[in-house]
Amino acid sequence: MKILVTAKRVVDYNVNIRVLSDNTGVDLNNVKMSVNPFDEIAIEEAVRLKEAGVAEEVIVVSVGATNCQEQIRTALALGADRGVLVETDEDMQPLAIAKVLKAVVDKEKPELMIIGKQAIDGDNSQTGQMLAALCGFSQATFASELEVADGNAVVTREVDGGLETITVKLPAVVTTDLRLNEPRYASLPNIMKAKKKTIDTYTPEELGVDVSPRVKTLKVVPPSERESGVIVESVEELVDKLKNEAKVI
């Protein structure tokens, strides 16, 4: 079985985000970039399935500028077999990414696609669902457990009311939640081996996909600073402030 996973390039989650002075976006100058944490979980799960003998090959895909090769190399060092970079300088949005991934799926013919449930930059949580719809595949989102056997995937999902276990037929798209696994660290020998692994490069035009942005960002601003709180002496005073100052009741 062949598994396809994704590795989106995002600002590292430990970095303090700064907005550009002209409010056109986020300042990326000299900022540490990493693999999206939810994609790291997807990569780890795919590698574990390969180590268990369920899968034969793990392919990692990234969509973006040339420097996305860094994140692909990271995934290769974690155990993926080869990479695919769809190179573009466009502002990639969920539907465009899903269309590109669909083109890669048509080319590679994987039986299982494991991707992060969302990226920590846009927080859209849309690409996996769109990919499944475009491909006509089963989907299981927000997975906290995954078992693959006999042409099916048994997935425990994290839902508002608790946990839900479903069985979907392969091929399928599974999106990962935080509790699915704990990603490993890449060892130095594997980092060196990753440098020799293959990365195939395409453009959206070569794949026949239009990735023109459908949504325009008008302005990016940081969240407003919170005002300091006050201590009230009684319930009556609290109700009065909520009613007359905060005007929330």
Query: Among residues of the chain, what percentage have pLDDT more than 70?
Result: 100
pTM: 0.87
Q: Is residue 130 part of a domain?
A: yes
136, amino acid identity: G
DSSP symbols for the chain:
-EEEEE--EEE-TTS---B-TTSSSB--TT--EEE-HHHHHHHHHHHHHHHTTS-SEEEEEEEESGGGHHHHHHHHHTT--EEEEEE--S---HHHHHHHHHHHHHHH--SEEEEES--TTT----HHHHHHHHHT-EEEEEEEEEEEETTEEEEEEEETTEEEEEEEESSEEEEE-GGG--PPPPPHHHHHHHTTS-EEEE-HHHHT-----SS------PPPPPPPP---SSHHHHHHHHHHTS---
**Domain with 208 in it:** 2-223
Q: Is residue 104 part of a domain?
A: yes
* 249 pLDDT more than 90: no
Q: Is residue 58 part of a domain?
A: yes
Residue 176 dihedral angles phi and psi, to the nearest 5°: -100, 140
pLDDT score recorded for residue 227: 79
Q: Is residue 246 part of a domain?
A: no
Identify whether the C-beta of residue 94 lies closer than 8 Å to the C-beta of residue 124: yes
CATH number for the domain that contains residue 49: 3.40.50.620
Q: What is the mean pLDDT of residues 61-79?
A: 96
Query: Among residues of the chain, what percentage have pLDDT more than 90?
Result: 84
* 210 pLDDT more than 90: yes
Residue 248: band (very low, low, confident or very high) from pLDDT cuts 50, 70, 90:
confident
Q: Is residue 142 part of a domain?
A: yes
Average pLDDT, the chain: 94
Indicate the number of domains in the chain.
1
146-198: per-residue pLDDT in tens? 999 999 999 999 998 899 999 999 999 999 999 999 999 999 999 999 999 99
pLDDT score recorded for residue 17: 87
Q: Is residue 6 part of a domain?
A: yes
9-65: per-residue pLDDT in tens? 999 999 998 999 899 888 988 899 999 999 999 999 999 999 999 999 999 999 999
Q: Is residue 244 part of a domain?
A: no
Q: Is residue 193 part of a domain?
A: yes
pLDDT score recorded for residue 226: 82
